[in-house]
Amino acid sequence: MTTHQLIAALGSSFAAGPGIEPVADPAAMRSQRNYAHQLADRLGAKLVDLTVSGATTATVVDTPQEVLGGAVFPPQLDGVPEDADVVTVTAGGNDLQFAPALLWVAWARLEPTSPMVPTLGAMFSDGVPAPTQQAIEQATAGLVRIVEAVRAKAPNARVMLVDYLTVLDENSMSSTPFTDLEIGQFLEIQDAIGQVFSDAAARTGADLISASSLSAGHAVGSVEPWVQPFYQVMERTGGSFHPNEAGMTAIAAELERVLTS
């Protein structure tokens, strides 16, 4: 890539980087050290970072997103430059309610009187949602729709699907407030997210950066975690179970390798 090229970044909190200093946009919970920013720095490229924590595939494509505090973000696709050379996409985890479920169970276990419990629990009247085939298909279709919409908006862009870093593995039990059963439920959702990305890449021909594979051995509780632990502090809890700076750096390095090879 040359210094004149342009990257656009789309996606949810796993792209935005909540809890990683310095902060680029407090309302979006977006970091200046997320993988898109680090990639642009590595390549000397310009960056349009449209990522917003809490985004779904719908809010990337065509639905405005209201965040805590009342700020409203337009659909992320609206901001994609028509002359973008590379567009990165990390979305779909919130379609399967992965991060909210992790937070809800952790808060309910450790501080059941916290206002976070009813706030998050409104989504989970039936408990942690199993990733049914219908839910997986809907999330996959949403990701496919993003790729197709990006290609219509920026026809010369190379679309890079970046899946979610590994948050939990079989060894995470002692480092989280979760039971064996809950870890199993979350691993099922985590696996489903990986399936969503591989299926969407297969259907669209978009590049797939498998952050989930890249981060094997770097889950919560590992010697060198690439994700943040659970923060039982209101001001920091949004970064819980999300990529840390080391995880973002690993993704940026892999993107650089793929784009320059």
What average pLDDT does range 57-81 have in this prediction?
97
Structure tokens at 238: 């949004």
203 burial level (CB within 10 Å; 0-12, 13-18, 19+): middle
Whole-number mean pLDDT of the chain? 96
Work out the pLDDT band at 2, boundaries 50, 70, 90. Answer: very low
Summarize the confidence of residues 199-212 as an average pLDDT: 98
Contact status, residue 83 vs residue 137, Cβ threshold 8 Å: no
Q: How many whole angstroms separate alpha carbon 24 and alpha carbon 145?
A: 27
The pLDDT, as a whole number, for residue 240 is 98
